[in-house]
Amino acid sequence: MYTYLICYDIEDDRERTRVAKLLERYGERVQYSVFEVHLARQGELAAIKEQLRAILAAADAEVRFYRLTADALADSHRLDGAPLGRRDLVVIL
């Protein structure tokens, strides 16, 4: 499983809304412009990027992708010390 933190800064309201709706299909919103995305295959990230490029073709926008390793996730926590919670990959055949 691949886990990414995807963050964006997009000025246009319409484009920002479209990006948020796209990312909601792949992951969980953890802050207003930050999503935690869990992918089963590396190729899924390429699909997300392709869709983002189509939405933001002419936009003044910045989108960043931070890959979170298992060690980084295990060491991550909230300000109150609570762990972020473990998300297992579920595959339905």
CB atoms within 10 A of CB 87: 13
Which residues are annotated as part of the binding site? 9
Instruction: Report the binding-site residues for Mg(2+).
Output: 9
